[in-house]
Amino acid sequence: MSEVILTMKDIDKSFPGVHALDHVNFEVKRGEVHALMGENGAGKSTLMKVLTGIYQKDSGSITYKGKEVEFHNTREAQDAGVVIVHQELNMVGDLTVAQNIFIGREPKKGFRIDDKKMIEDSKKLFRELNIDIDPKEKMHNLTVGKQQMCEIAKAISHKAEVIIFDEPSAALTEKEIADLFVIIRDLREKGLGIVYISHRMDEIKVITDRVTVMRDGGYVGTLVTAESSKEDIINMMVGRVIYEDPKQHSMVAPDAPVVLKVEHLNAGKMVQDVSFELRRGEILGFSGLMGAGRTETARALFGADPKQSGKISVMGKDGQLHEVTINSPQDAVKYGIGYLSEDRRRYGCVVQKSCIENTTLATMEEFTSGLLINSAKEKEVTERYIKELATKTPTADQLVVNLSGGNQQKVVIAKWLTRNSDILIFDEPTRGIDVGAKNEIYKLMNKLAAEGKSIIMISSEMTEVLRMSDRIIIMCEGKVTGNIDISEATQENIMNKATRNID
Amino acid sequence: MEKLKHNPIVKKLGLNRILLVGILILMFVVFRAALGSKFPIADSIKSTLNYVYFLGFLSLGVTFVIATGGIDFSIGPVMFCCALISGYCMTSYGVPCILSMVICILVGTCFGIFNGWLVSYMSVPAFIVSMASMNIAKGLASVFTKTQSVSWPLGNDPENGWFRNIVSYNGFPVGLVIFLGVAVLCGIVLYRTKPGRYILCLGSNSEAVRLSGVNTKKWRMLAYIICGLMAGIAALFFVATYTTVQPGYGDQYNNEAIAGCVMGGTSMAGGLASIGGTVIGVCIISLLQQGIMAFGLGKGQQMIITGIIVIVAVYADVSARRRKN
Amino acid sequence: MTKKKKSILSDQRFIVLLVVIALTAVFSVMSKEFRQYNTLLSLLDFSYYDLLMAIGVTFPLITAGVDLSIGTGMVCYALIGGTLIRSYGCPVIVAMLVCVLLGVLFGAINGSLIGIMNLPPFLATLCTCMITRGIGSLCSATPWPGLTQEGGWFHSIYKLTIGTGRSADRYPIGFLWMVLMVLLMEFVLNHTKFGRYTIAIGSNKEAAALSGINVKFYHVMVYVVCGLFVGLAATAYAAVTPTVQPGTGAGLEMDAIGGVFVGGVAASGGYGSILGTFVGIYVIMLLKTGLPYIGLQANWQQIITGIVLIVAVLIDILKEKKGMQ
């Protein structure tokens, strides 16, 4: 059972401005679960997208079942038996479960689609996988976990020989993960090659046979899981010490006043009874797994999404906490809160506009004299921030779309600094930003905190949370499951809280 | 071409706009050469300008809406509705001319408010709002005028004839001055004021602007109000040159106005608008209509040609954007 | 996840059916003339082409697109067909085939512009709307053969007339075809690849493409099918309109699209039903036919259709908002 089914050799891929994959090697054997690990942005998903034909490689070779192949689209890969279960679900919500599973290859009976057979086949598939889903239910009525299961069922139904799971557990509950592992073991028994992408060390130890680690788009090495310790793998992932050591103790003065107090915030399923306090000069880390409700909390707090209930108090000019009503981002901005989204291109900046227009976007009132915009003042302020934040841009008139991720982030920071916001919510501040620029963003955040700004930092990277935060709030399934000082924080106790619900 | 692009003068004016002016001049020369005396220079310019006036205001208005990434193709019928209602007030109820003109602009503005409210506060897709308000405008005009056509006073009307001076006064093209003045004003509003900045930015990325604490709904609505207001002004210039309006018409001007706007370099995806381009684009469309008529072709050919031009212009915009990404 | 039991009362189609019944009842009570068989006949007569267009345009609307060229297109094909009969002595059956083929052709043009060239649907079809209207107005007003003339047999497809003059018995057998057509297309929508992929494109085009569906092909086909039905509608239109007038047809798309929205198609795409369209159209037809009987002039129809469209879409949007919370 050790025949190699798939080999990727020297895979290279560049996007404008980013060298995403740098001569990466990877192989999968029949009957093995092979973990692909690395931090966010290490290139795992890109590698798998190259494999399944979503992206085309620049150079290198892929050998599948002894023959060199190149898939031009997912269809070709599927037909050959290489199937990916995406992290973002690719489901047509308005169709039923069975219709989704067989989309693109519906069994036909004359002119009509044989829905009966589809439903029967789906039922059989679900029985095999031991999952209980009604194939006639519309997709958008299912929970995320169930949708995930359908996606897996769909992959298996393709007579796949290699299945790639791209962070399948991110949205699943404990029980669903256990079910998933039963399925994966079963598939392994049948001699399939399985690629398993995940961040969770525990899972890797439990389910996988070998681990390949990637870092910054490059290949680091491959280990046999049973023979290596957690630390070995982490060391490979983190590699050269580019991070400072974790913060040992909080940098916040013991008498620093509370500037933001959130009590019993409720907003949909993802934010349930969330309460916390933020003090002046504090970096408050929000840790948790994907889908734990951190971004949702931030958006509800910021007024970007509606909330059902909750009390928010913000420190006023008089140094006292006042209860405020935040129903829209406008209100939040008025009270000095700024939000830096994880998805800068969509929610952060207007990429087709210049640095100037983005920097002054939240503060137009200050740049209008009479009816007209004072362009000279705009330019002056923008250039000041470009200098102060060391933003790399040829001129202030440059369109933001032409800047790198790190510099786009700096433009967004400049926007809130121009507004003089005292509370900044950084949602995944370094996602998609390369290593060098990451450090700059970290330094900047520390500087801002030292100057008396208060920062909420949502981050999925454990090292980032441990390095930056003064205090850490841990969320799981929409609830706060932990609130610990940095001096007590360890990877293990954060992970424990992030995977366990309070009740 | 590359060299030309980096020439400072060309850069300042914009290569597209220079090319458009070139097209405009070329078209004029071709028409003259092909038609000779059937295309008298002075008269042709005059009739083109008459067309430019009302179409230009429509096009300037819709430029704001398209800049937000929306669309309004009710403007033609709305323009007619404005002219009919206010004209009917004057002819049948004896409302003074000046007041009728105000009513005319107000009716347009009301449509703008209606459209803008539905699109931005109720999130109804813009094309559905356009369809509905196109019908409502036509229906309202028919109901109000009892399906009669309405004629505004002629120039020799002692009491109310003065209103035609908005187009020309003793041969001096007042209309041109007003139109260019309004165009400059639009340019200032769009590029040099806060509302204009917001309109352009939200057309490019509405969510990012909202998350910057801007009331995007309000500013989106404003674009539609400006568009409606412009339709009201356009109506005045329409009746001042063509006198009579009939209920149930006006659709064709939607396309021509949008054509002028898109040709001028305003992107249908929103966020990018050129007032100068719109002005030249409108001139091209207007000249084209005159040319087509001078060739002895009718409304049918006009519509076909304009339709094809819009498709080509929008496709050029779509494919240029795709190449960029 | 508790599965909600679907009650028939939560089905918009059923509610709309109740509206149809209620409207019929109200008009019948309020007006004696409305109760006559002839009213029913003419209501049905004029509903066929609307319904056929509506069935066609349901497909683009499910993909979150639209086809604004259906009204002018239909008139254009009917004009061309009529001209072929009158001026070139074409047999009626050939003219009818030409109508259908033209519909398919323009559908393919619309589909290519939208599905392959990625133009915004409302803009592409706004242009083809103008173009078909322009082509139509190149023809002259042409009556298709009357019932008693040679080739008049085609009237019998929609309305069987036995006997002559006032005493003739007339049966609206067209309604039967319509019911069959609705059932057929409901089947196509729910049980064929074409229908399923139409829904998939409207619901999540990206996912559909990743599942290996030839999205471009099916996107084009959506408009081709729409065009096919507009072609059929042209024959129904010719059967009820004594003389097809060039330059008309703008606004007819409103009735059809309005009906589809009343029938419960989702404004954001992904859901629609032909049965819904069927009942939706009769709400519009009842309003159009019935309102004059209770004293509202015909001009109000346009306003009311506009308002009905907005209200139908608003209901859908509010429903979706509620569902999200």
Query: Contacts of residue B207 in chain A, CB cutoff 8 Å?
Result: 346-347
User: Which residue spans within A134-227 are E strands per DSSP?
Assistant: 162-166, 193-197, 210-215, 218-224
CB A93 to CB C210 under 8 A? no
pLDDT bucket at B66, cuts 50 / 70 / 90: very high
Assess contact for B61 and B75: CB atoms under 8 A: yes
Assess contact for C232 and C52: CB atoms under 8 A: yes
**Nearest-CA distance from B213 to chain C in Å?**
22
Assess contact for B155 and B161: CB atoms under 8 A: yes
CB C1 to CB A91 under 8 A? no
Can you give the three-state secondary structure of chain C, one letter per residue? Answer: CCCCCCCHHHCHHHHHHHHHHHHHHHHHHHCCHHHCHHHHHHHHHHHHHHHHHHHHHHHHHHCCCCCCCHHHHHHHHHHHHHHHHHHHCCCHHHHHHHHHHHHHHHHHHHHHHHHHCCCCHHHHHHHHHHHHHHHHHHCCCECCCCCCCCCHHHHHHHCEEECCHHHCEEECCHHHHHHHHHHHHHHHHHHCHHHHHHHHHHHHHHHHHHCCCCHHHHHHHHHHHHHHHHHHHHHHHHHHCCCECCCCCCCHHHHHHHHHHHCCCCCCCCCCCHHHHHHHHHHHHHHHHHHHHCCCCCCHHHHHHHHHHHHHHHHHHHHHHHHHC
Please report the number of interchain residue pairs, chain B to chain C, with beta-carbon separation below 8 angstroms: 138
CB C306 to CB B139 under 8 A? yes
pLDDT bucket at B6, cuts 50 / 70 / 90: low
pLDDT tens for C126-152 read 999 999 999 998 888 888 888 888 888
CA distance to B22, B25, B45, B48, B180, per residue, from B32 (Å): 15, 11, 11, 14, 26
Does C196 have pLDDT greater than 90?
yes
Least confident range of A12-26, C54-68, C215-229: A12-26
Can you give the three-state secondary structure of chain B, one letter per residue? Answer: CHHHHHCHHHHHHCHHHHHHHHHHHHHHHHHHHHHHHHCCHHHHHHHHHHHHHHHHHHHHHHHHHHHCCCCCCCHHHHHHHHHHHHHHHHHHHCCCHHHHHHHHHHHHHHHHHHHHHHHHHCCCCHHHHHHHHHHHHHHHHHHHHCCCCEECCCCCCCCCHHHHHHCCECCECHHHHHHHHHHHHHHHHHHHEHHHHHHHHHHHHHHHHHCCCCCHHHHHHHHHHHHHHHHHHHHHHHHHHHCEECCCCCHHHHHHHHHHHHHCCCCCCCCCCCHHHHHHHHHHHHHHHHHHHHCCCCHHHHHHHHHHHHHHHHHHHHHHHHHHC
Query: Contacts of residue C192 in chain A, CB cutoff 8 Å?
Result: 111-113
CB nearest to C306's CB, from B136, B268, B306:
B136
The pLDDT of B34-41, averaged and rounded, is 87
Does C9 have pLDDT greater than 70?
no
Assess contact for A260 and A312: CB atoms under 8 A: yes
Q: What whole-number distance in Å separates Cα of residue A149 and Cα of residue A96?
A: 14
Average pLDDT across chain A, whole number: 87
CA A487 to chain CA centroid, Å, is 26
Instruction: Provide the ipTM.
Output: 0.87
Residue owning tokens 């059902």? A308
pLDDT bucket at A447, cuts 50 / 70 / 90: very high
Q: Which of A134-143, A398-407, C184-193 is predicted most confidently?
A: C184-193
**Nearest-CA distance from C176 to chain B in Å?**
31
pLDDT tens for A286-299 read 998 777 889 999 99
What pLDDT was estimated at residue A255? 87
pLDDT tens for A246-260 read 778 888 888 899 999
The pLDDT of B192-202, averaged and rounded, is 94
CB nearest to B124's CB, from C124, C253, C310:
C310
What pLDDT was estimated at residue A104? 84
What pLDDT was estimated at residue B112? 97
What pLDDT was estimated at residue C325? 56
**Nearest-CA distance from C165 to chain B in Å?**
33
- The structure's pTM equals 0.88
DSSP type of residue A368: E
Q: What whole-number distance in Å separates Cα of residue B103 and Cα of residue B86?
A: 6
Please report the number of interchain residue pairs, chain A to chain C, with beta-carbon separation below 8 angstroms: 66
pLDDT bucket at B12, cuts 50 / 70 / 90: low
- A114 close to C (CB below 8 A): no
The pLDDT of B302-319, averaged and rounded, is 90
Say whether A329 sits in a helix, a strand or coil. helix
pLDDT bucket at A193, cuts 50 / 70 / 90: very high
Which subunits sit against A, judged by 3+ Cβ pairs under 8 A?
B, C
The pLDDT of B227-237, averaged and rounded, is 96
The closest of A350, A323, A338, A292 to A476, measured between CA atoms, is A292
Does B150 have pLDDT greater than 90?
yes
Does C4 have pLDDT greater than 60?
no
CB nearest to A330's CB, from B197, B215, B272:
B215
Does A235 have pLDDT greater than 80?
no
Can you give the three-state secondary structure of A381-421, one letter per residue? Answer: HHHHHHHHCCCCCCCCCCEHHHCCHHHHHHHHHHHHHHCCC
Does A503 have pLDDT greater than 50?
no
pLDDT bucket at B11, cuts 50 / 70 / 90: low
What pLDDT was estimated at residue C5? 45
Query: Contacts of residue C117 in chain B, CB cutoff 8 Å?
Result: 315, 318-319
- C62 close to A (CB below 8 A): no
DSSP type of residue A344: I
pLDDT bucket at A38, cuts 50 / 70 / 90: confident
What pLDDT was estimated at residue A177? 80
Does C117 have pLDDT greater than 70?
yes
Interface of A with B in 292-331 (CB under 8 A): 302, 304, 328-330
Q: Output the six-digit token pair for A193.
A: 């090659």
pLDDT bucket at C1, cuts 50 / 70 / 90: very low
CB A141 to CB C1 under 8 A? yes
pLDDT bucket at C281, cuts 50 / 70 / 90: very high
The pLDDT of A476-486, averaged and rounded, is 90
CB C192 to CB A95 under 8 A? no
CB A353 to CB B200 under 8 A? yes
Does A238 have pLDDT greater than 70?
no
CA A34 to chain CA centroid, Å, is 22
- CB neighbour class for A452 (10 Å; exposed up to 12, middle 13-18, buried from 19): exposed
> H or E stretch including A12?
strand A4-15
CB B200 to CB A364 under 8 A? no
At position A373, the amino acid (one-letter code) is I
What pLDDT was estimated at residue A87? 67
**Nearest-CA distance from B223 to chain A in Å?**
17
Q: What whole-number distance in Å separates Cα of residue A249 and Cα of residue A466?
A: 10
pLDDT tens for B49-58 read 999 999 999 9
What pLDDT was estimated at residue A239? 61
The pLDDT > 70 percentage for chain C reads 96
Q: CB under 8 Å to C6, separation ≥6 — which residues?
A: none
pLDDT tens for B250-300 read 888 998 999 999 989 899 889 999 999 999 999 999 999 999 888 888 888
CB nearest to C127's CB, from B311, B318, B319:
B311
Q: What whole-number distance in Å separates Cα of residue A135 and Cα of residue A118?
A: 9
**Nearest-CA distance from C10 to chain A in Å?**
16
What pLDDT was estimated at residue C6? 53
Q: Output the six-digit token pair for C325.
A: 């919370």
Q: What whole-number distance in Å separates Cα of residue C225 and Cα of residue A224?
A: 57
Best interface-test mutation with B: which of A353, A363, A367 has the largest number of B CBs within 10 A?
A353
pLDDT tens for A51-66 read 988 888 899 999 998 8
Q: CB under 8 Å to B156, separation ≥6 — which residues?
A: none
Q: Which of A339-343, A488-492, B226-230, C169-173 is predicted most confidently?
A: B226-230
Does A492 have pLDDT greater than 70?
yes
**Nearest-CA distance from B293 to chain C in Å?**
14
Q: What whole-number distance in Å separates Cα of residue A406 and Cα of residue A389?
A: 11
Q: Is pLDDT larger for residue C9 or for residue A392?
A: A392
The pLDDT of A171-197, averaged and rounded, is 84
The pLDDT of B235-241, averaged and rounded, is 94
The pLDDT of C193-199, averaged and rounded, is 94
CB nearest to B315's CB, from C119, C134, C299:
C119
Average pLDDT across chain B, whole number: 91
**Nearest-CA distance from C39 to chain A in Å?**
39
Q: Output the six-digit token pair for A219.
A: 């290949």
CB nearest to C200's CB, from A92, A146, A306:
A92
CB A113 to CB C206 under 8 A? no
Does A242 have pLDDT greater than 50?
no
Say whether A186 sits in a helix, a strand or coil. helix
Does A158 have pLDDT greater than 80?
yes
What pLDDT was estimated at residue A302? 95
Assess contact for C203 and A93: CB atoms under 8 A: yes
Query: Contacts of residue B193 in chain A, CB cutoff 8 Å?
Result: 368, 371-373
The pLDDT of B81-89, averaged and rounded, is 95
From the CB of residue A120, how many other CB atoms can be counted at a distance below 10 Å? Answer: 14
Assess contact for C261 and C102: CB atoms under 8 A: no
Query: Contacts of residue B268 in chain C, CB cutoff 8 Å?
Result: 120, 123
Q: What whole-number distance in Å separates Cα of residue A83 and Cα of residue A86?
A: 9
CB nearest to A357's CB, from B201, B210, B215:
B201
